[in-house]
Structure 1
Amino acid sequence: MVQGLPLNGKTAVIYGGAGNIGGAIAEAFVQAGAEVHLVGRTEATLKAKAGELGARYAVVDALDEGAVDRHAATFERLDISVNVTTDNDVQGTPMVEMSVEDYLSPVVSAVRSKFLTARAAARHMIRQKSGVILFFGGTGEASAHRRWQLGGLLAAFDAVESMRRQLAAELGPHGVRVVTLQTGGIPESIPAEHRAPIEADIVGETVLGRAATKADVGRTAVFVASDWGSAITGTQVNITCGSVLD
């Protein structure tokens, strides 16, 4: 441990920690002094990312109530919980042509996984009288064409934001903060073969003329999760480069 780092002595668990966004947050947390635990369903990718970062890992399905609770029970304390798991979204199909199962899939999986992981973390944090729960996604007044053929993804984001507000209200008196990192899209997280047109679309909506990077996400997550962000809860932190204006 290096003295003076913003997350020095903090224990963080990142669900979806081997993915693009989870990995970026994990890297930033490690650099900021946290003890980082990566969680996901695929051991090979978890093991590789954990080895790269000097983190720990566990194979856990964030949709499995028993598995989430058992894993959380292995911690003596838990200071930061981040859930950036993907939400089984089906995109590229008009809503009028979608099955109800495909539309609801991201809503159900997002609400279930975020609820289970937040609940498990909150039980530690209430006892500690401190902690931070982070989500990634958020909602805002995106332009009409940016909402095109996204299926149930935006409904899932809206549902999680409702959960975030309720959690913040219930957990605030215990010293626990709940925050969403609001994204307008991170081109680096998109497969290279599909990136160019989507990146152009994302950048075209911003006022800064650029898209947020994975490094931006990591640095913002460190700020919010650390004592530097101790007054922030119950809200979204906007990292859209101005594609969403408050």
Structure 2
Amino acid sequence: MLLANKTAVIYGGGGAIGSAVARAFAREGAAVFLAGRTLSKLDSVASDIAAAGGTVEIAQVDALDEGSVENHANEVAAKAGSIDICLNAVGIDHIQGTPVMELSLDDYEYPVQVYTRTHFITSRAVARHMAKNGTGVILMLTTPAARMPGPGFMGHSVACAGIEAMTRHLAGELGSYGIRVNCIRPHMIPEAEAIGSHSQDVFRRVADRAGITTAQMLEGAAAGTLLKRLPTLSEVANTAVFLASDHAASMTGTVINLNSGVMLD
């Protein structure tokens, strides 16, 4: 098992990506602590993990609230003895598909504020515990919008670029403590839309704005990649496992393209 004897905290653990990564971490031997605002979603994921023989606990945590995150991180560290891995998979419903000349300031600022805030809060909380043990892995999520031209996703693109900048900065600041920081950059994931995650509403609004169906939008997105297909939840989860494992022990400050070739580095 690649993550045996590791403790992993996943914020947004009830969402599409968070739950897929949680199951993969547990499968590889990690004790998984799921945090999120909706206990019913967390409970469903935890039940699957427990049924497969994994170790899991859930907690209601607002990942935008400093006190809530700090208290939870302290509790996990006290119970498990360490926090070895952290993934922030928090997702929010926000405006995309609106041209900048029609976009309100509030709609622009909302994803920038929320995504950079939650990643800062959660990374800082777990880093304090990882530094004590001289080891740890912090994983973030972004999208190709971080480096793509518009139109229609101004706030989203700035939020993603901010998360990638945070990845690089934290890697430089925390490396001396033995903490690695990496970011996964997947493209649209059809399964995330299909299971009703926050992506469902975002995808629908963008498709409506373009006058097409969500299925047509996803087909077009797939056609625009080099591989002519979009990534799967399993691929994202397995990439997270690799990055969290000792197989990636020399990888830090890296953004992993998992977008089927829609963007090249």
Give the aligned residue type for 1:157.
C
TM-score (norm 2): 0.86
Deviations 1:5-46 (Å, cap 9, x if unpaired)?
000000001111111111111111111111111111011111
Residue 225 (structure 1) aligned with residue 252 (structure 2)? no
Give the aligned residue type for 1:185.
M
Given that 1:187 and 1:198 are in contact with CA atoms closer than 8 Å, whether structure 2 keeps it comes out as no
The equivalent residue for 2:263 is 244
Distance 1:112 1:141, change over 3 A: closer
Q: What is the count of residue pairs matched by the alignment? A: 239
Equivalent residue in structure 1 for 2:130, among 111, 125, 137: 125
Moved over 2 A (4+): 138-142, 191-195
Q: 2-side partners of 1:138 and 1:180: how far apart?
A: 10
The equivalent residue for 1:99 is 104
Equivalent residue in structure 1 for 2:5, among 6, 9, 33: 9
Alignment of 1:1-246 (within 5 A): 5-54=1-50, 55-74=56-75, 75=77, 76-139=81-144, 141-142=147-148, 144=149, 147-191=150-194, 194=204, 195-246=214-265
CA-based RMSD of the aligned residues comes to 1.5
SS at match of 2:101: helix
Relative to structure 2, which stretch is displaced further, 102-111 or 89-98? 89-98
Given that 2:147 and 2:161 are in contact with CA atoms closer than 8 Å, whether structure 1 keeps it comes out as no
Q: List alignment gaps of at least 5 residues for structure 2.
A: 51-55, 205-213
Q: 2-side partners of 1:181 and 1:9: how far apart?
A: 23
Given that 1:15 and 1:85 are in contact with CA atoms closer than 8 Å, whether structure 2 keeps it comes out as yes
SS at match of 1:96: coil
Deviation at 1:93, TM superposition (A): 1.7
Q: List alignment gaps of at least 5 residues for structure 1.
A: none
Deviation at 1:208, TM superposition (A): 1.3
Q: 2-side partners of 1:51 and 1:41: how far apart?
A: 17
Give the aligned residue type for 1:19.
G
SS at match of 1:182: strand
SS at match of 2:263: coil
Q: 2-side partners of 1:52 and 1:204: how far apart?
A: 34
Determine what percentage of the aligned residue pairs are the same residue.
Answer: 41
Relative to structure 2, which stretch is displaced further, 182-191 or 205-214? 182-191
Deviation at 1:70, TM superposition (A): 0.3
Given that 1:12 and 1:79 are in contact with CA atoms closer than 8 Å, whether structure 2 keeps it comes out as yes
TM-score (norm 1): 0.93
Given that 1:207 and 1:243 are in contact with CA atoms closer than 8 Å, whether structure 2 keeps it comes out as yes
Q: 2-side partners of 1:190 and 1:88: how far apart?
A: 12
Distance 1:183 1:57, change over 3 A: same
Deviations 1:61-88 (Å, cap 9, x if unpaired)?
0000000000000122100000010144
Deviation at 1:58, TM superposition (A): 0.5
Q: 2-side partners of 1:67 and 1:120: how far apart?
A: 10
